[in-house]
Amino acid sequence: MSLYSILDISGAGMNVQQSRLEAAALNLANAQTTAPPGTPAYRPLTVVLHSARGEAGSLPLPVVAGTVPLNATPRLVYDPGHPDADAQGFVSLPGVDPIGSMLDLISISRSYEANLRAFDVTRTLLQKTLDMGNHR
Amino acid sequence: MLEANPIFALLSRALDTAALRQAVHSANIANADVPDFHRLEVSLDPAGEPASAAAADVLPADFDARMDDLDAADDLEGMPHVISTNDSVRLDQEMALMAKDALRYEALLGAFERTTGLLDLAIREGKGV
């Protein structure tokens, strides 16, 4: 396995973290959205990750198997004056867990940084390998 | 001529192993959030078998041939191969190991350069630059 191929592994790692970041950001952005009675409210999304054998080599690469909506129970808030309130005066809000989403964002950020660091270390080693013998 | 020098063969093999370690660290970090992914390791255990078909593929195609050419092969450890452990990936641990192995790789590059420097000096009959 060449050092060039290792860069692809870190790239795949950053790619899946970006997908997770998109889903977490979408969940937070839609946390307060409502829907008229009878129409489905926003359902929080989660990214399903798998390990797959990549072209870069035989080591497993992370891939996004899909982005699926969770079966989270909507939150019912009593707000009879809201345009989307039902006959009983309840408004249905998406079952987004804001604290869980924020923790996800921290975890995603750390994972992305770790992949970026691995990419940087590999790039440095590659550069030093290419520079070998140039100092004489 | 380079192949005739066992030091080059040793350093070359050590660099291959160090590159494989870097690949494994990168794969562990990249797959850290995948459910049921178990941490990979590079094993030099001569009795160990590759945990999957992956191990054979990650070695250079001419790895066996190069090792056959090495007279000192009997004194070396086993062929490096990738094994799967039962542990999950801990990012902090993986980053620390990656930093350590990167230093090792750089040290090997330095050793390689010094060895070629000696060869260069011999070619120039000790006259220097």
pLDDT at A54: 57
Amino acid identity, position A97 = D
Distance CA B59, CA A58 (A): 10
* Predicted ipTM of the assembly: 0.86
pLDDT at B54: 47
pLDDT at B122: 84
pLDDT at B58: 47
Residue B125 region, left (φ>0) first, then alpha (ψ -120 to 50), else beta?
left
**pLDDT tens-digit series, residues A69-128:** 998 888 899 999 999 999 999 999 999 999 999 999 999 999 999 999 999 999 999 999
pLDDT at B118: 83
Please name the residues in contact with B103: beta carbons below 8 A apart, sequence gap of 6 or more. Answer: none
Q: What's the burial of A113, exposed, middle or buried (CB within 10 Å: 0-12/13-18/19+)?
A: middle
- The four Cα atoms B53, A118, B91, A55 give a dihedral, to 10 degrees, of -30
Whether residue B75 has pLDDT greater than 50:
no
Please name the residues in contact with A125: beta carbons below 8 A apart, sequence gap of 6 or more. Answer: A3, B19, B22, B102, B105, B106
Name which of A110, A117, A136 is nearest B117 (Cβ-Cβ): A136
Distance CA A114, CA B99 (A): 12
Distance CA A75, CA A93 (A): 5
Whether residue A64 has pLDDT greater than 90:
yes
Q: With an 8 Å Cβ cutoff, is B48 touching chain A?
A: no
Distance CA B29, CA B22 (A): 11
**pLDDT tens-digit series, residues B1-28:** 555 678 888 898 999 999 999 999 999 9
Question: Searching chain A, which residue's CA lies closest to the CA of residue B20?
Answer: A1
pLDDT at B77: 54
Question: Searching chain A, which residue's CA lies closest to the CA of residue B128?
Answer: A136
**pLDDT tens-digit series, residues B77-110:** 568 888 889 999 999 999 999 999 999 999 999 9
pLDDT at B124: 84
The mean of the pLDDT values for chain A is: 90
**pLDDT tens-digit series, residues B27-68:** 999 999 999 899 999 988 765 554 444 444 545 555 455 555
Distance CA A19, CA A64 (A): 8
Amino acid identity, position B111 = A
Closest-CA distance, A49 to chain B, in angstroms, reads 5
Distance CA B23, CA B57 (A): 13
Rg (alpha carbons) of chain B, rounded to whole number: 17
Instruction: Name residues 51-70 of chain B within 8 A of A (Cβ).
Output: 53-55, 57-59
Q: Which residues of A fall within a CB distance of 8 Å from B120?
A: 136
Residues B109-128: what's their mean pLDDT?
84
Reported confidence tier of residue A37, pLDDT bands at 50, 70, 90: confident
Q: Which residues of A fall within a CB distance of 8 Å from B27?
A: 9, 59-61
Residue A48: both structure tokens together: 């399903």
B52-58 own/partner pairs: CB under 8 Å, 24+ apart: B52/B82, B52/B84, B53/A58, B54/A53, B54/A58, B54/A59, B54/A60, B54/B82, B55/A58, B55/B81, B55/B82, B55/B83, B56/B81, B57/A57, B57/A58, B58/A1, B58/A57, B58/A58, B58/A59, B58/B20, B58/B23, B58/B82
Distance CA A93, CA A34 (A): 5
Query: For the whole model, what pTM was predicted?
Result: 0.79
